[in-house]
Amino acid sequence: LMTLYEDGAFKLDDPVTDYVPELAGLKVFTGFDEAGEPILVDPEHVPTMREVMSHTAGFAYGLFADDPVNKMFAEAEVLLSPDLDTYVDRLSGVPLMFQPGSFWAYSTSVDLQGYIVQKLSGKRFGQYLQDEVFGPLGMTDTGFYVPDAQRDRFSDLFTMDEASQQLVVLDAPGFDFREGGIGMESGGHGLVSTIGDYARFCQMLVNEGELDGVRILKPETVELMRTNVLPEGMSLFSDGTTPNAATAGHGFGLDFAVIMDPAASGAAQPAGSYYWGGAAGTWFWIDPENDLFFIGMVQRFPGSLDRQMRKDSANLVYRALAE
């Protein structure tokens, strides 16, 4: 999306409805009335592109939460939409969880960005990624589908069986990446890749937007993306009243979490490092100060199974640097 930002296709403080008019009727959920019906009010302002990219717009996600709006989101099968047009149609019927800009909650905003890329570029989302990112970076094993000829290279995904406390292969809708098996090409989930390919992507970020003579983003754009945009006092993964100790001192930029005060959470990475992780046991961080990146891919769902591993891996890296 930021490649289109550089082209002048949108501004960060533009209302998202400038590009997704289907969301013009969004309401904000505030509770239930005595009859058990949702109480919906108008948003104080239309979510901006900046709020969409920083997960402060108010959208739900339908995963890992059981509050009323996330339940509505899951029941609407938003993430199971067959294509991005259907996705936006379903999303438009789910209220926001909170007033835009008032809170942080990981959401479907990245999926929505995929639709916006498709709308602004005039290309299918996956084709735009291939033309503007994967192809130029030489990421030959990255895409939304695994062709049949490459299926023997595709790792299984594992989850913990509660009864046996053993890892077992996860077989569930949404994880079938055979060619043609996935519906919409989503901005927030669905890509398959290799450590080698993703290393090229991360090295491009370490290099401030360039790799092997190919520039994907300007240095100032990468700097913008890794700069915290959250207001003072807003924290990640909070219940709204109690800050999350694991992310104390962390902020959020444009689609990246940012470490601002490592001592607050005991993070090994220095201030200015930025990161994110996936639900299927994948994570990465970029450390501009030490000119390095780290990638973890352990194929376990959900990603919370690997929380301690993520911390331990960072401790080991920085211990080695200090020796």
- pLDDT of 243-296, one tens digit each? 788 888 999 999 999 999 999 989 999 999 999 998 888 999 999 999 999 999
256 with 275: CB under 8 angstroms? Answer: yes
**Is 103 a residue whose pLDDT tops 80?**
yes
CA-closest candidate to residue 137, choices 186, 210, 191, 218: 210
**Is 47 a residue whose pLDDT tops 90?**
yes
What angle, rounded to 10 degrees, do the helices at 84-91 and 109-121 form?
A: 130
Q: How confident is the model at residue 179 (pLDDT cuts 50, 70, 90)?
A: low
Same domain, 81 and 194: no
- Give residue 175's pLDDT: 66
The reported pTM is: 0.93
Q: How confident is the model at residue 176 (pLDDT cuts 50, 70, 90)?
A: low
Same domain, 103 and 158: no
Q: What percent of the chain lies above the pLDDT cut of 90?
A: 74
174 CB-near residues (< 8 Å, 6+ apart): 79, 80, 189
Same domain, 163 and 111: no
What does pLDDT average to over the chain? 93
Q: How confident is the model at residue 235 (pLDDT cuts 50, 70, 90)?
A: confident
- Give residue 220's pLDDT: 98
**Residue 96: both structure tokens together:** 């926001």
- Name which residue leads in pLDDT, 64 or 78: 78
Same domain, 117 and 153: no
- Give residue 304's pLDDT: 73
Peptide bond preceding 302: is omega within 30 degrees of 0, i.e. cis? yes
Same domain, 109 and 176: no
**Is 174 a residue whose pLDDT tops 80?**
no
Q: How many CB atoms lie within 10 A of CB 292?
A: 17
- Give residue 182's pLDDT: 60
Q: How confident is the model at residue 173 (pLDDT cuts 50, 70, 90)?
A: low
**Is 18 a residue whose pLDDT tops 80?**
yes
Domains of the chain: total: 2
Which residues on adjacent β-strands are paired with residue 161?
A: 166
**Residue 298: both structure tokens together:** 């352990």
136 with 214: CB under 8 angstroms? Answer: yes
**Is 4 a residue whose pLDDT tops 70?**
yes
CATH number for the domain including 63?
A: 3.40.710.10
- Give residue 306's pLDDT: 78
CA-closest candidate to residue 140, choices 132, 149, 130: 130
Q: How confident is the model at residue 190 (pLDDT cuts 50, 70, 90)?
A: confident
- Give residue 122's pLDDT: 97
- Give residue 257's pLDDT: 96
Average pLDDT over residues 24-40: 97
Same domain, 175 and 316: yes
Q: How confident is the model at residue 146 (pLDDT cuts 50, 70, 90)?
A: confident
Same domain, 204 and 315: yes
Same domain, 174 and 283: yes
Q: How far apart are CA 122 and CA 292, in angstroms?
A: 35
- Name which residue leads in pLDDT, 162 or 114: 114
**Is 155 a residue whose pLDDT tops 70?**
yes
Same domain, 81 and 207: no
**Is 177 a residue whose pLDDT tops 90?**
no
Q: Give backbone dihedrals phi and psi of 85, rounded to 5 degrees, phi first.
A: -65, -45
Same domain, 48 and 157: no
Domain housing 177: 148-322
Q: What share of the chain is helix, strand, coil (3-state, %, to 5)?
A: 35, 15, 50
Same domain, 45 and 101: yes
**Is 238 a residue whose pLDDT tops 80?**
no
Same domain, 173 and 293: yes
- Give residue 14's pLDDT: 99
**Is 22 a residue whose pLDDT tops 70?**
yes
**Is 240 a residue whose pLDDT tops 70?**
no
